[in-house]
Each structure stands twice: as C-alpha cells, then as structure tokens.
Amino acid sequence: MDKLVEIVAKSLMLPAEKITEELKYNSIPEWDSVAHMALVTELEDAYGIMLETDDIVGMSSVAKIREILSKYDAAA
C-alpha cells in the first residue's frame, strides 16, 4: 500500500480505501485539527523530519501533503 495513504488512514482512523488524493482537511469529521496534529506526528516519525509550521497549515489535502513531503526529500 502507498506509504502516505497508510499514514493518513492510520492518523484519521479511516479505512485506506477512503483516502483519496482529493481528500481535504476539515472536509470530514475525522480530519479535524486534533487529527491533523496526530497526522503531523505520524508523518514526522515515518519520514524522520520536523515539519515547518507553514507546511502544517498548508497540508490541506492528501495531494498537497505529498507535494510538501517532496520538499523534505521524503519519498511519499
């Protein structure tokens, strides 16, 4: 399974098939600010990075997260 999809699914406590590239922050009850910070922690642990605040704010969709991670040389 795609690593990023796996991490997002785990953080939002959703089945992986529900995680699409278009899925947006705050568009579903499962992806609220609390889940967002859990997702940040999972991503940081999985990729060994520390996200910048602007990037945490900018993680508005799964596709956007993928784009942001590429900046950190984290293959998503």
Q: Give least dist CB 61 to other proteins, A.
A: 22
Q: Which of 15, 71, 73, 76 is nearest to 42 (CA)?
A: 76
Q: Give least dist CB 71 to other proteins, A.
A: 14
Q: Looking at 5-13, 17-25, 49-57, 66-74, which segment touches other proteins (CB under 8 A)? A: 49-57
Separation between Cα atoms, residue 47 and residue 54, nearest integer Å: 18
The token pair that represents 39 in the structure block: 């997702």
50 neighbors 44 (Cβ within 8 angstroms): yes
The pattern of x and - marking residues 25 through 44 that bind other proteins according to CB under 8 A reads ---------x--x--xx---
Interface residues with other proteins (CB under 8 A) are 34, 37, 40-41, 50, 52-53
